[in-house]
């Protein structure tokens, strides 16, 4: 099945659109956050990505982490919805992105780079973060470390 974004782009070309995405904050035992160095812009960001039509937000978050990192995770908290007013892929593919951000714990798997999307993974201290590629990722990380979590319709992930 063709991905949702490819289907939309085949209809609208590079017209500015709105998209839904996920981002996932994973921290290790040292309270460092896992970031991926993206292959498209060589900047750092959280694991996550765009939703497909046939999945829930939670399913997308778990799928994207698995695809990008090879880790199986359990979502533990909903952090919030954060907006990237203009995310750019390639040179002309632009969208306003609404990112649903979660905290997660690793259940299994060994961290492995997906060559299509990532150059490397590394854990960083909150006070020593590299340049982050997207505003929604910055906001998600800040909310996590400031302990500002939100519930959706009373749903708890604990």
Break the chain into its structural domains and give their ranges.
4-9+16-145
Which residue in 29, 120, 153, 158 is the catalytic one? 120
Residue 99 is predicted with a pLDDT of 94
Residue 70 is predicted with a pLDDT of 95
* Tens digit of each residue's pLDDT (9 = 90 or more) over 8-26: 888 888 888 888 999 999 9
Single pTM value for the model:
0.88
Ranking 21-25, 37-41, 43-47, 87-91 by mean pLDDT, the lowest is 87-91
Q: Report long-range pairs for 68-71 (Cβ below 8 Å, ≥24 apart).
A: 68/36, 68/114, 68/117, 68/118, 69/34, 69/36, 69/109, 69/111, 69/112, 69/114, 69/118, 69/121, 70/109, 70/110, 70/111, 70/112, 70/114, 71/26, 71/106, 71/107, 71/108, 71/109, 71/110, 71/111
Specify whether 120 is catalytic. Answer: yes
* Tens digit of each residue's pLDDT (9 = 90 or more) over 88-140: 766 677 888 899 999 999 999 999 997 788 899 999 999 999 999 889 999 99
Superfamily, domain 4-9+16-145: Nucleoside Triphosphate Pyrophosphohydrolase (3.90.79.10)
């Amino acid at each position: 099945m063709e991905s949702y974004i490819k289907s939309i782009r085949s209809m609208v070309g590079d017209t500015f659109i709105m998209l839904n995405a996920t981002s996932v904050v994973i921290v290790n035992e040292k309270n460092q956050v896992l970031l991926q160095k993206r292959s498209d812009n060589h900047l750092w960001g959280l694991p996550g990505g765009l939703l497909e039509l046939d999945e829930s937000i939670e399913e997308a978050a778990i799928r994207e982490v698995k695809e990008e990192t090879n880790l199986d995770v359990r979502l533990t908290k909903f952090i919030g919805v954060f907006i990237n007013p203009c995310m750019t892929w390639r040179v002309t593919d632009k969208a306003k992105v609404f990112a649903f951000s979660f905290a997660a714990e690793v259940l299994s798997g060994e961290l492995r780079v997906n060559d299509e999307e990532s150059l490397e993974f590394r854990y960083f201290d909150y006070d020593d973060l590299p340049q982050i590629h997207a505003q929604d990722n910055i906001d998600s990380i800040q909310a996590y470390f400031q302990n500002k979590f939100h519930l959706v319709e009373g749903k708890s992930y604990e």
